[in-house]
Amino acid sequence: MTDDELAQLVDDNPVLFHMAERGSWNSIHKHGLLSTSALLDLFGVCGPDRKLIESCRRPESVTIERKEIGSAVIRDQKPMDDQGLNRCLQDGLTPREWYEILNARVFFWLTRSRVLRLLTARAYKDAEHDVLEIDTAPLVATYQQQITLAPINTGATKPMPAPRGRSTIVSIADYDYAGRLQTHAREPVVELAVTPGVPNIKDFVRRVVVMRGEVEISEVWRRH
């Protein structure tokens, strides 16, 4: 991706979206929006407990706690499973390796339609969620070297698992934006991720809203 292409991407997608567990904003505001691996580091989780969270599929959300820090919720991975990954993984990758690749990053949707698709999915539509709306330009300017892009939903294998491998999640410089525009002009990039997270995410968040499905229930925070 060239500098001009990156500028176009940012201009076309001025707001990024992140869906978090309901009630997570206070912890995110304090500690930042961290990847699963970074959260496990922060909370001192290690050994078999860490392996189950970081290297295996999480069928349900997991709450981790540390007395001097508090608690945090690591979201489930219901849209993805080992069976689907075994069907679509390339380059000799294993499901464990894919989970670890994803857990090293914090992911953002580039469009409101994508976050609404997740909010209205069967597994989540009846629950409330904190949805962060983030200014794209300053976040990209600050974290450009830590950002990766993907042309698919890397955390889903249902209903049909899209092929994925070592070249699916790549740096901004390595992303074939022009090629994607030719084949997927309406959505050349599906996901933007930051490794290992955004500790100062509050500097980029426009507002945080509570949503259930497509319904915005309340606004819990707004940058003034």
175-210 confidence digits (pLDDT tens): 999 999 999 999 999 999 999 999 999 999 999 999
pTM listed for this prediction: 0.95
pLDDT of residue 141: 98
Q: Delimit the domains of the chain by residue range.
A: 3-222
User: What counts of helices (H) and strands (E) characterise the chain?
Assistant: 9, 12
The CA distance from 62 to 73, in Å, is: 6
pLDDT per residue as tens digits for the range 20-54: 999 999 999 999 999 999 999 999 999 999 999 99
Determine the Cα–Cα distance for residues 156 and 108; give it in Å rounded to an integer: 14
Q: Share the mean pLDDT of the chain.
A: 96
Residue for token digits 């949503």?
Answer: 211
Q: Are 17 and 116 in contact (CB under 8 A)?
A: no
Q: What is the CATH number of domain 3-222?
A: 3.90.210
